[in-house]
Amino acid sequence: MYFQTKPTFRHRHNRGGVINSICCECLLTVASASTEHGLTQYEEAHVCNPARLHQLRAQLSPRSSPDSSHEGQ
């Protein structure tokens, strides 16, 4: 079973007055609204896709470069 902590959200205010709610865990835009209060229900209902989290972690994990296998020889 996959365990996920409750995600947090960043709010980005656009020039047109629209506010985007972005999940800090999976980096997806969860909702857009004209007020921050309008984002609450979407943030509370959001569940990150485990496959997306796995993909993001794989992209962020340190990878050895092709030349590193020859170090120390």
Residue 72 lies in a domain: no
Report the mean per-residue pLDDT for the chain. Answer: 84
The per-residue pLDDT for range 19-59, each reduced to its tens digit, is 999 999 999 999 999 999 999 999 999 999 999 999 998 98
Domain carrying residue 24: 7-51
Q: Is 15 helix (H, G, I), strand (E, B) or coil?
A: coil
- Number of structural domains (the chain) is 1
- Its sign, for the CA torsion 9, 13, 17, 22, is negative
* pLDDT-based confidence at residue 63 (cuts at 50, 70, 90): low
Residue 47 lies in a domain: yes
Q: Quick check: 3 pLDDT over 70?
A: no
Other Cβ atoms within 10 Å of 40 Cβ, number: 14
* pLDDT-based confidence at residue 1 (cuts at 50, 70, 90): very low
> In angstroms, how far is the first alpha carbon of the chain from the final one?
43
Q: Using CB atoms within 10 A of its CB, is residue 21 exposed (0-12), middle (13-18) or buried (19+)?
A: buried
Check residue 6 and give its pLDDT: 77
